[in-house]
Amino acid sequence: MRLPIHPQGWPFIAVALALNGGLLFWLGWWGLIAAPIALWIIAFFRDPERSAPQGEGLILSPADGVLLPVVSAVPPPELNLPPEPRTRFSIFMNVFDIHVNRIPEAGAIEDLSYRPGKFINASFDKASEHNERMTILLRLFGGQELIVVQIAGLVARRIFCSLRIGQRVSRGERFGLIRFGSRLDVYLPEGAQVRVKQGQRVRAGETVLATLQG
């Protein structure tokens, strides 16, 4: 049976538990003052099972969090795509959300591009342009392009992405994580119909963000 903790979390959990054990040894019961931090670290890396909804042309949320304003924006330039605006979702994850990222729809990874940058608060719109990010170009099996961008935030300092170019992926499949508080952007294919609204809470691998025509 798989433990509901992401593998990236175990080193941090081990350090937190070791520090708490040391404090208990030296300070006795006063050492429990740091226990909430260890519990938060364990909770941060939780990774529950999810059941992706079935159906044709569904684009799911890649992250848990709150949906920021839906806007029209040009995709990151590192993909060398035509500079045409596309509908963009931005999902803000606070430090208490589940941070495991999931594939929005089945397809193949056509391109990956990492770009270093700043660590502006991920809830600000300028974070999409200036912050450290990993950009993923997903070619859906229907031929459409779907872009997902992992963006580091004010507290986040490490983007983890397990994907590789050419890899075939399934809807709802885990693909990465960002430590500790961050944002994901999703650029829709042309003609996709938005199914959510600003301020809505979404869940990775379960909430339908949009549907594809045809």
DSSP letter for each residue of the chain: ---SB-GGGHHHHHHHHHHHHHHHHHHGGGGGGGHHHHHHHHHHTB-----PPPSTTEEE-SSSEEE---EEEPPPGGG------EEEEEEEE-TTS--EEE-SSSEEEEEEEEE--B---TTSTTHHHHB-EEEEEEEETTS-EEEEEEEE-SS--EEEE---TT-EE-TT-EEEEEETSEEEEEEPPTTPEE---TT-EE-TTTSEEEE---
More confident residue, 17 or 44: 17
Please write the tens of the pLDDT for every residue from 12-31.
Answer: 788 888 888 887 778 777 77
pLDDT at 120: 62
Residues annotated catalytic, as ranges: 182
Q: Is the pLDDT of residue 208 over 60?
A: yes
What is this structure's pTM? 0.85
Q: Is the pLDDT of residue 54 over 70?
A: yes
Q: Is the pLDDT of residue 112 over 90?
A: yes
Q: Is the pLDDT of residue 40 over 90?
A: no
pLDDT at 13: 81
Average pLDDT for 59-70? 95
Question: Which CATH architecture does the domain made up of 58-211 adopt?
Answer: Distorted Sandwich (2.70)
Task: Mean pLDDT check: name the lowest of 50-59, 118-127, 150-159, 165-174.
Answer: 118-127
Q: Is the pLDDT of residue 165 over 60?
A: yes
pLDDT at 111: 97
Per-residue pLDDT band for 125 (boundaries 50, 70, 90) equals low
Average pLDDT for 138-157? 85
More confident residue, 18 or 187: 187
Q: Is the pLDDT of residue 203 over 80?
A: yes
> What is the overall mean pLDDT for the chain?
87
More confident residue, 10 or 75: 75
The top-scoring range by mean pLDDT among 12-26, 34-48, 90-104, 193-207 is: 193-207
pLDDT at 95: 82
Average pLDDT for 63-79? 93
